[in-house]
Structure formats: structure tokens, C-alpha cells
Amino acid sequence: MNPERNNHSRQIVMPLFVCLSVCVLISLAWRFIPNPLIMIVIGLVPLAVLIVLRQPFFFVLLFVIFSFFRIHEVFPQIYNFKIPLLLSMASLGALLWHVGLTRKVDIYWRSELTVISVFFTLVVVGVLLASNRPVAIEYFKGIYWKIIIMTFAIAWLSRSEKDFALASKLITFFGMLVGLVAISNQINAIGLVEGTRVTIGRDIGSVLGDPNDLALVLMFPVAFAASLIMTANVGHGAKLLGGVSVLILFFAIIATQSRGGLLGMMAIFAVYGYRRMHSKILFITIAVIAACALFVFAGISDRASGGAAEAGIDASAMGRLYAWEAAFGMAVHNPFSGVGINNFYSNYYYYSPHWDGLNHAVHSTWFGVLAETGFVGLLVFIITMTQLIKTAMRSLNRIEQNISEVNPAVHVAAQAVFAGLVGTIVSATFLTQGFTWPIYILAALVVAIAQWCDNNLPQTLTVK
């Protein structure tokens, strides 16, 4: 068939198909909602579809941001608009369109995706073998399957400098918004836990109603905000966004009084400091002094749990030790599959050496993965994190050794994902994030940046 005639036929058929579809939709909708506004809404559908198909990465990124930052819960005024659902439909539709039909999205594979996929497979097997299968299936259907799909979507759709710039700025901006709400809640004593620890949306049952989970959410954009400040030639607007965001996020994380959040934030700052300070002795001295000052300034010693008023090992620390012992027991009993995703809480009673009448969270990424995927899952998870760190470091070194040829947006993203991974690993001792968004967003960006480096930079790399 003549390619020109085939293309001409498509140009005629597609508009006719769209017009016919709109007419059918209007006719069907009018039977149930006889309102003239329905004609306007449905008439705008083709335009909305066109925008989604032209900007697939933007809508995938928005969906991830709304799902991770819980923007609809931070600002409950928009909760009933079902924005995450609409964004999920738009992003998945665009991804299927470009992967299955237009073939505009380049599907590639790397060793990092292999180990991530192995871990995903272990989690799925764990769901089928979970001790409380309905709980595991509910979490998988509600959250984790989206994480799996969007990990690959971000990795494959992050193709250009504009994509990396957009990701860095949007993550920083929405993180700043969450930080502002946290500070406002602190000032107005809204939703405080133990009288001092800030939360968001506690009254509506939001995930951010736990100060440790809020600290995790706030910690994630710190790496991107700091990278905007530290990277040259990103523009005054980007540096201003980064500077304002760092200050807001810093005080918001302090307001949570989360040990894991503070450790993660300190680790992120330490990465930037270590890479820029020639005297490592001076760096260590400043880091120790800053850590002590931050601990005092954050007021952790004034916490009702884990504060200075508790003699010996405080109740918060003992609670974690009991939880970690329970996690080890779950893995010993289920070494190959664990108790199943999101099943630690419901199994705490059966494995804890100390029962105080309440089930508890594990409050550790490592022990959480151990309990819910077994020893095999923890081993694969550690291998995954190790490979991601190596890949992120290698990509960052390649970018900096060819800095004159690299768009600053790529450098911003490369620094942010490396620092973010380090902060995640450090904070993992106290924060449960093995099956939540941050690790997988960073993993996808690590893969995307590595692929960009392979496509755009020389293969040779001088070891520093």
C-alpha cells in the first residue's frame, strides 16, 4: 500500500471516528443526565485526550506526585474531585497508547530493571502466600500495583533534559507545599501527636497522619531542592525555588521530631557537603557538630515517647527492638515468602516477645522487607539498593566529567537521585519505606539517567 495514501486515509478516518464517538457519548449521556453542560464536558474530551497523549510523562509524574505526596489529603478541599483516579486513567491510557500503538516510547531493558523485577515477583508471590491474604491483596490492589507500573513508566518516559527538569521542579514544588501545610499545622496546633509532633490529615485518616510517614514524604524532595541550589547554570528561578523549599522542608521535618527523617535529611546534606569539601576532617567535624545541634533544636528530647524523660533505653527504642525481633521471627517461620505485604501489623501479636495489648508497626525498612518477603526478599532488596547506588554514582561521575556537554537539568536530577538514595538508606533504620513510593521513584530515575548517559555521553569513564 502507498504510504502517502495510507497516511491520508488516517487523517480522514481519525477525525471522523472522534466526531462519531463524541456524538455517541453525548446521546448516551443525555439519557441519564439531561443537562446542556454534559455536551460541553464531552465535547472537551477529545481535546483532553490530545493533551494527555502529547504529554504522557507530565501526567505520569502528576499521578505519582498526587499518590506519594497525598496532595488531595493535604488539601482536602479537592478530595472529592478524585484527581488521583483521573490522573491514573490518563497516565495509563497514554502509556498504553504510546507503547502498544504509536511505538513512540522506547522500551529498553537494563540490569537494574532485572533485579527490580525479581523483587516485584517475590512480592507478588508473597501476596499469594500471605498469612492474611485479604490484607495483602487489598494493599497490592490499592497501592503496590501502581508502584510497579509507574516504576517502569517513569524509567521509559524520562527521555529528555526537559523531562528531568520537570521532575526535579515539580517534586520540589509539591514537597514545598506539603511542608508549608505541616508548618501551618504546627503553628496552629492542628493534629499534633504527643502534643509536639506535627501531622497532616490525621482527622481524615491520611497516611500523613503519622509523623514518621510525614517525615518520609518531606525528606524525599529535600534532595531535589538542594540539588537545584548546588547546580550551576540552572537559572535564578530554579535556585530560588530550591532555596525556599529547603528552608521550608528543613523546619517541617524538624516539626515531625522523627529520628529517621532527621537522619535522612542530614545524610542528604552530607552527600553534597562531602563531595564539595576538600578537607574530610573539617567535614566530619562540622557534621558531628551539626548533628548534635539539630538533635537539640528538633526537640526530640522533649518527646513524650523517646524523650530524655525516659530512663535507660526509651520506650520508643524498646518498641522498635520488640518489633524487629518479631520481624525476624516472621522471616524464620516463612524464610522464602515472609508473611506477605502489609501483613506485619496483623502478625505482630503472634511473633512479638512483648505484648502490651496493641499491634505495632515495624518502623524499619530492612526489617519490614525481611518480615514481609522473607530472607530471599531481603537479599534481593539489598542487591537492588546496592546496584542502584553504584549506577547512580557511575552516572553522576560520567555527567560531571563531561559537564560542558550536559544540560544542567540532567546534572540536577543525577545529584538528587544519588543523594536521595543515600538519605533513604540511612533513614531506612527508622522509617518503613520498602513498599512505598520514594525508593521506586528514585530507582526509575536512576535507570532513566543511566540510559540517557549511555545514549548521549562517551562510554569511557575516568575513575576519580
Query: 424 and 442 in contact (C-beta within 8 Å)?
Result: yes
Return the amino acid letter for 191: G
State residue 85's pLDDT score. 84
State residue 310's pLDDT score. 41
pLDDT at 102 over 80: no
Q: What is the mean pLDDT of residues 268-297?
A: 82
What are the pLDDT digits (tens) for 286-310? 878 877 877 776 665 555 554 443 4
Between residues 122 and 292, which one has the greater pLDDT?
122
State residue 462's pLDDT score. 47
Return the amino acid letter for 102: T
Per-residue CA distances from 260 to 9, 93, 374 (Å): 60, 37, 23
Q: What is the mean pLDDT of residues 274-287?
A: 82
What are the pLDDT digits (tens) for 202-254? 999 898 999 999 999 999 999 999 999 999 889 999 999 999 999 999 999 99
Cα 194 from Cα 197, distance rounded (Å)? 6
What are the pLDDT digits (tens) for 355-397? 877 778 898 999 999 999 999 999 999 999 999 999 999 999 9
Which of 22-31, 48-57, 429-438 holds the top average pLDDT? 429-438
Cα 238 from Cα 445, distance rounded (Å)? 20
State residue 36's pLDDT score. 57
State residue 45's pLDDT score. 56
- DSSP for 160-207 reads SHHHHHHHHHHHHHHHHHHHHHHHHHHHTT-S-BTTTB--SSGGGT-G
Q: What is the mean pLDDT of residues 433-440?
A: 92
pLDDT at 463 over 50: no
State residue 464's pLDDT score. 46
pLDDT at 418 over 90: yes
pLDDT at 104 over 90: no
Return the amino acid letter for 151: T
Which of 46-55, 302-311, 422-431 holds the top average pLDDT? 422-431
Cα 18 from Cα 21, distance rounded (Å)? 5
Cα 439 from Cα 153, distance rounded (Å)? 15
State residue 311's pLDDT score. 40
Cell of residue 83, nine digits = 484527581
Between residues 225 and 23, which one has the greater pLDDT?
225
> Average pLDDT over the chain, rounded to whole?
85
Cα 228 from Cα 222, distance rounded (Å)? 10
pTM of the model: 0.85
- Spatial CB neighbours of 385, under 8 Å, sequence gap ≥ 6: 421, 425, 439
The 8 Å CB, 24+ separation contacts for 455-461 are: 456/405, 456/406, 457/398, 457/399, 457/402, 457/405, 457/406, 458/402, 461/394, 461/397, 461/398, 461/401
| All structural domains of the chain with their residue ranges | 12-43, 110-456
Q: Which of 147, 255, 142, 262 is nearest to 200 (CA)?
A: 255
What is the torsional sign of CA 26, 27, 29, 30? Answer: positive
Exposed / middle / buried, residue 402 (Cβ in 10 Å: 0-12, 13-18, 19+): middle
State residue 89's pLDDT score. 83
Cell of residue 345, nine digits = 501489623
Cα 420 from Cα 250, distance rounded (Å)? 15
What are the pLDDT digits (tens) for 4-16? 555 555 445 555 5
The CA angle 74-220-303, to the nearest 5 degrees, is 75
Return the amino acid letter for 35: N
What are the pLDDT digits (tens) for 53-71? 778 889 899 999 999 999 9
Q: Which of 175, 177, 186 is nearest to 255 (CA)?
A: 186
State residue 291's pLDDT score. 76
Cell of residue 428, nine digits = 531506612
The string over 384-401, giving b where at least 16 C-beta atoms fall within 10 Å of a residue's C-beta and e elsewhere, is bbebbbebbebbbbbbeb
Q: What is the mean pLDDT of residues 406-428?
A: 94
Q: Which of 227, 65, 219 is nearest to 150 (CA)?
A: 65
pLDDT above 70 coverage of the chain, percent: 83
Cα 92 from Cα 145, distance rounded (Å)? 12
State residue 312's pLDDT score. 41
Exposed / middle / buried, residue 107 (Cβ in 10 Å: 0-12, 13-18, 19+): exposed
Query: 423 and 265 in contact (C-beta within 8 Å)?
Result: yes
